[in-house]
Structure 1
Amino acid sequence: LDEALGPFPVDLGDIFYAPNALRDPQGRSVLWGWLQEKPRKVGTYDYAGCLSMPRVLYLEVDEQPVSNSGGGGNAGLGRPAVHLVQRPPPEIVNLRLPGSEWVAAGLLLEPGSTLPVPLVSGHHLELELSMMPIPQPLEPLREEGDMAARVRDNVGEWSGYSPGLSQGGAPGIGFSPRRAPRPDTADRRHGGSGGSRCSGVLLHNWQSGAEGSAALLYHWDSGVLEVVFEAMDPATLTFSLAAPGARRVGGPLQRPPARGTPLALRVFLDYSCLEVFTGNGEVLTARVYRGCGPRSNSSSVGYHQRQNVPSPGSSTPPPLYSAGGTAAAGVELVSFGCSTEFLSVGAYEVGSIWEEDV
């Protein structure tokens, strides 16, 4: 143990506990854990706790010797580091519902802009993201048909727009995308100051007010992956990433993407359970109580690779969130403090693991 690397967290969140591992018929090591509940209104739910998704465990060798100063292990050992890698089982893709998906590539979000994820809805979703920041000055990407889009935050046009998040399409929470999130403790510890260059996903609630909304963000300068919630602006009573007292769960990645390379994420949202897998095998799990949203569109004709956003310079606001609408999932891509290229995005409605009785 004197020469052991670590310790390293199994999960960057604060709800994963009591893990159990087994070896399946294929010889794979599979890990489950329990997911705790977080403070919520008494009587709202008739259950407490659930199992996590299964995680397939691997050992991966990093040929570059590591040291404590580099976030790895023991200095002076001069030997490769062995990392525990956790990935969702490949079989999970079999739960994707045919025809209920949205796939795109080459999306460019300018600083402070958001892009609703269209054409998927329901409480069970999977997102695949590959993203990287683009330094300023921003050079526009070449558009290629429906597979690319630029979303511009038009000052004086979108700034006062509050997306509605109720099933009826009535205005819900307000959100000002130009309000950059405050750097958390990890950001300051890594030398961050002022704003923060970060990208990720906004998860809107299904009720009025800010309760239940959250943001999954990766901070490019500090290497912190986090979920921000309980972030109500006391002045406007709306969800704001800059709200005082916002709760943050997460931490710095042990194996962040190298500078100039994208970050890959697989995000699973199952009612309140949010499980995030990085491309290098780290996991962040959290609870996000968004309430009950519109029913899935999986019974209708599916769409694929079709973008539905305003053209650059348009004064038309983004579409409202409504049942079966273009943003029915209540999920948005977001970029703060930098431009972000989403090299690829996939959004899928996911079915149940339980088979119906015949």
Structure 2
Amino acid sequence: MSQSSPEPSAGHARRALLRGGGLAVAGLAGVSAVALDAAPASAAAVGPWEYVAPGGSIQSAINAGAKAIQLGAGVYTITTPIVPTAGCTIRGVGQKTEIVAGSAMAAMIAVGQGKAIDGVYLGDLVLDCATKATTGIDLYIVGTTGNYKGEPDSMCRLDNLWVYSPVVDGVVYRGTDTQATSTSRVRVRGAGQYGFHIDAPDNWWTSCEATTRSSTGANAGFYVGTNAANNFFQACKAWYVRGYGWHVKANRNKFIGCEAQDTKSHGWYIEWDRNTFVGCVADTAGMYDVDGAADTADGFYVADGAATALVGCQSFDRRPGGRAAQQRYGFSVPTTMVSGGRLVGATGWDNTGGLIRQR
């Protein structure tokens, strides 16, 4: 009997590839019980998925035509932005998948770059800007040519992401067609300017949060800018911010159950009119531990409330560390907002200047 091994069957070869390549995606038919932290080849294709191993090139897989990219447990160091194509999915395995900026770059992931693109999905991974990348994710989409079924919006999805230490902004939304994009469970830590820099209309944010670090310029957990009309924010939080928690400089936006906590400046600086707020909270503006000073910042500061409503909102200083209260007014609003019944059911406590200031 020959001592040589027989030629492996196609099925055998595929199983060996899976063991070596380490591809495991819940719900993929025929793929199970495979460790993503195995020592894999640089890339392996299984069905529609292209597995790029730690240390491999994500962009090379995209350039080769991959539309569904699975990343494993490990570090992916990049020196230029990752640029997805239309319909591209990039997914990791959670905090064990780290994409790290190895040099200065404008953004770690650049979606659109001022052109038409749609259907991009980014999920389940860490982006470590390492104070080298200016922005974590830049969605800059202009145009709709080639969109799925002729859709008028880009319809991108960001979910379960961690973005650390961008030089300026964590996630930027800009361009006339960055619309119908849904962002959920995204945590931005230590942004130099804005955690979420929002300057596009008709999008959704759910269960997102942001902190910022010291800076010499504008600073907020969420900046909702002049082009950001008709957006929805639900259960989102700005905390430990060296500026405003929320800076709203836009019209026709909806905020439900969102919070500002431990901010240097106003928890909510609502600069523009025609927005609505339901069940939102401000907790300890002027907070000492983010370079704030007592009696300098309010929980909610509404510059123009002619057509803005705050319903069932709460504003308080919880006196962290046993210190005296620091937040000045719970609500500082135009007198007409109170007389017109647009500040409804406001509650709070331990504000140094009182609950409501009518200006």
Query: Could you state the TM-score of these two structures normalised by the residue count of structure 2?
Result: 0.20
More helix as a share of residues: 2
Q: Which has the larger radius of gyration?
A: 2
The TM-score with structure 1 as length reference comes to 0.20
Bigger relative contact order, structure 1 or 2 (CA pairs below 8 A, ≥6 apart): 1
Structure with higher strand content: 2
